[in-house]
Homo-oligomer: A and B are copies of this chain.
Amino acid sequence: MSAAKPTHDVIAGAPAEAAQSKRGRLIRQEDEIFERIQQAILDHRLPPGTKLKEVPLAELFGVTRGLLRKVLTRLAHARLVEQRPNRGAMVASPSVSESRDLFAARRAIEGAIVGILGTRINATQIKGLRRMIEREQNAYAKGEMRAGLKLSIDFHRVLAQMAGNSVLSGFLEELLTRTPLVILAYRDTRATTTRCDCNDHGAIIDALETGDAEEAARIMQEHLEALEGQLNLREDGSTTDLAAVFGS
């Protein structure tokens, strides 16, 4: 069974609670399923291309097919899932150009976020961010990759929230969730790890502390370029040269 239905094992965690009141809690249930699938993607547990069948997933979460269907539609709108008519939903597989665009968009948005923060961040916030980086480094040092990854993403997310622009942080939230799909699809097989450089995070805070927003934005953009550089985004799948793949 474990081998036959891998998707079931992958999207693990506590079972979705049955609705208590007859209505009203149900939208929370919908949100919970959405977030659990989203979290599975963030945790690199759901690779691109994974088929998401309605009946098995609905049974797994203990909801009707109609509700699950709604969740899939929402995930599709967030571009975490691709829905093709009559052929169901699968975890999105970003193309090379999409992936490049995604990183360029992150540079633009996170650059702006850091620029905003340069003028409004306070000592308490800086202290909190430093604590986060410390925990992140500890996690990686202890080999707890999943925890480190989560903290690393949280660093970017918290920066956005501190900037106080709900529109930009909403956009970034989407991009942060899509990033793992890009990494899984295009990670360089030779590289041991594909993740944020903690030192960059520290350097960004250093720049923010001195009030140098320009410098902080510059480091953030270089930081994202470094992450993108760890990937193999050279050629698109559609243009793969089969002759080259099989020698001669």
Contacts and interface: CB of A to CB of B under 8 A. Distances in A.
B109 A108 contact: yes
The count of identical subunits is 2
Nearest to A94: B167
A114 to B, nearest CB: 11
A86 B23 contact: yes
A224 interface: no
Interface residues of A, number: 28
Nearest to A78: B77
Given A23-B86, A85-B23, A85-B24, A167 B112 contact: no
A105 interface: yes
Contacts of A168: 101, 104-105, 108
10 contacts: A23-B85, A73-B73, A98-B166, A98-B167, A104-B116, A104-B167, A105-B112, A105-B165, A105-B167, A167-B175
